[in-house]
Amino acid sequence: MLKNKIQIILKWGVYFGIALCLFDIAKLLTRDIQYPFAPIFSILLLAIIITMLLLGTKQYRENVCGGTILYFKAYGVGTLITLIAVVFYFIFLIFYYQYIDKEGIERINKKNEENFSEKIKNDTISTLEISEYLALLNEEIDSHFREVNVENVDSVKFQEFSEQLQMKIETELYAEKKQKDSTNLMFKNFDDFVRSCMKKMTDETLLSVSDSSTVFRQKVLLVVNNVEDSMAKFSTISLKVDKERDKIPHYDNKFNVILITALLILIYSLFVNIFTALYVYRNKPARLIGHTQQ
C-alpha cells in the first residue's frame, strides 16, 4: 500500500514537472513570433496545474483510498505532487538557463524595464521632472549653439536667440502644466510635445529677431535640428526609468531567477490545489452516492 502511494505521488509529480518544462520550452520557441501569447500561456499554465493535480489526486483517491478521500488529505496529496514537480522543475531551470537560454537573465531584466516603461506611459510628468528635463534640454541647446560655426552671423545675437528659445520653451511647458488633464504631459506624449514647442518657439523667435539674415536662419534651424536629434538621449521615459531603477526587478544571477520562478509556481499551484482538492474530495464511495440519490 505504501509503495503504491509513493508511486502515484512520484509519477504525477514527475508528470507535472515534465509538463512545466515543456511549457517553458514552448515559450522559448514562440518568443520571436510577433503574437501576444501571454494570455494563452497564462491559461495554459493554469490548465497544466489543474489537470496534473486533479488526475494525480483522483488516482490516489481511487487506488489508495477506495474511492473516498477527506479534503485535507486530498490537499496533502496535491501538495506532495506539487513539491516533487517543483523540485523537478527547479533542476530543469538550472540546466535551461545554463545551456539552453544563456541570455535569459538579460532578457528578463530588459523585459522588466520595458514593462515599467509601458506602465508609466500614461502617467503625467511632474513639475520637478519638467525642471530636470529642461535643465538637460537647455544644456543641450547651449552646447549646440556654442559648437556651431558663427561665421557671417552676429554671435551675440546668436547667443541671445539661444537664451530666448530656452525661456520660451520653459514658459510654454509650465503653462501647459497648469492645464487640467493635459495629455501632452503624459510621458508617452511629452517628448513629441517638446519638439513641437521647440519648432513653434523657433519660428516665433526668428520672427522677433530684427534683421535676421538667411544665413542666420539657416544656422539656427541647423542647431535646432541637431538638438532634436540629440533629444533621444534623454527622453522623459528613459530618465524616469533611470531615476526609479530600484523599483524595477533586476536579477544579477541565474539562481535568483530560478528560485523565484520555482517559488511562484509552488505558490500558484498550492493556491489552485485548494480548489482541486475540494473537487476531488469525497466522503462516500461513488456507488453509495449513486444509491443515496436514487
Q: Which residue has the cell 513570433?
A: 33
Residue 277 binned pLDDT confidence (cut-offs 50, 70, 90):
very high
d(CA 19, CA 88): 10
* Domain co-membership, 93 together with 202: no
**pTM to 2 decimals?**
0.69
The pLDDT of residue 289 is above 80: no
- Of 81, 88, 83, nearest in space to 23 by CA: 88
pLDDT of residue 223: 82
**Single-letter code of the amino acid located at 36:** P
pLDDT of residue 290: 47
d(CA 162, CA 147): 12
Q: How many CA atoms lie within 13 A of 44 on its CB side?
A: 13
Query: Higher confidence at residue 37 or residue 78?
Result: 78
* Domain co-membership, 130 together with 240: yes
* Domain co-membership, 25 together with 64: yes
Residue 19 contacts residue 48 (beta carbons within 8 Å) = yes
Query: Higher confidence at residue 290 or residue 131?
Result: 131
Give 115: exposed, middle or buried? Use CB within 10 Å, 0-12, 13-18, 19+: exposed
Burial call 264-294: b when 16+ CB within 10 Å, e when fewer = ebbeebbebbeebbeebbbeeeeeeeeeeee
* Domain co-membership, 209 together with 238: yes
- Per-position DSSP letters for the chain, written without gaps between them: -HHHHHHHHHHHHHHHHHHHHHHHHHHHHTTTSSS--HHHHHHHHHHHHHHHHHHHHHHHHHHTSTT-B-HHHHHHHHHHHHHHHHHHHHHHHHHIIIII-TTHHHHHHHHHHHHHHHHHTTSBPPHHHHHHHHHHHHHHHHHHHHHS--TTS-HHHHHHHHHHHHHHHHHHHHHHHTSTT-GGGBHHHHHHHHHHHHHHHHHHHHHHSTT--HHHHHHHHHHHHHHHHHGGGG-HHHHHHHHTGGGS---SSHHHHHHHHHHHHHHHHHHHHHHHHHHH-BSS-HHHHHHHH-
Which residues touch 124 (CB under 8 Å, ≥6 apart)? 182, 185, 186, 187
pLDDT of residue 249: 87
* Domain co-membership, 140 together with 238: yes
Query: Higher confidence at residue 154 or residue 195?
Result: 195
What are the cell numbers at 215? 544665413
Q: Which of 211, 231, 247 is the last residue of a domain?
A: 247
Residue 22 contacts residue 100 (beta carbons within 8 Å) = no
User: Is 111 inside any structural domain?
Assistant: no
User: Is 110 inside any structural domain?
Assistant: no
* Domain co-membership, 238 together with 132: yes
d(CA 57, CA 277): 8
User: Is 55 inside any structural domain?
Assistant: yes
Q: What is the pLDDT of residues 9-36, one digit of tens each?
A: 999 999 999 999 999 999 989 987 878 8
The pLDDT of residue 291 is above 60: no
Q: What is the pLDDT of residues 223-253, one digit of tens each?
A: 888 888 888 777 888 888 888 888 898 888 8
- Say how many domains are in the chain: 2
Query: In terms of residue numbers, what domain contains 154?
Result: 124-247
* Domain co-membership, 140 together with 243: yes
The pLDDT of residue 205 is above 80: no
User: Is 189 inside any structural domain?
Assistant: yes
Q: What is the pLDDT of residues 40-99, one digit of tens each?
A: 999 999 999 999 999 999 999 999 888 889 999 999 999 999 999 999 999 999 999 988
The pLDDT of residue 181 is above 80: no
User: Is 113 inside any structural domain?
Assistant: no
Q: What's the average model confidence in pLDDT over 192-213? A: 78
pLDDT of residue 20: 97
Share of the chain above pLDDT 90, in %: 33
* Domain co-membership, 30 together with 83: yes
* Domain co-membership, 147 together with 47: no
* Domain co-membership, 133 together with 236: yes
What are the cell numbers at 6? 509513493
User: Is 114 inside any structural domain?
Assistant: no
Residue 288 binned pLDDT confidence (cut-offs 50, 70, 90):
very low
User: Is 115 inside any structural domain?
Assistant: no
* Domain co-membership, 257 together with 243: no
pLDDT of residue 287: 53
User: Is 118 inside any structural domain?
Assistant: no
pLDDT of residue 65: 86
Q: Which residue has the cell 516603461?
A: 117
Q: What is the pLDDT of residues 124-179, one digit of tens each?
A: 888 888 888 888 888 888 888 787 766 666 677 777 888 888 888 888 888 888 88
* Domain co-membership, 172 together with 275: no
pLDDT of residue 12: 96
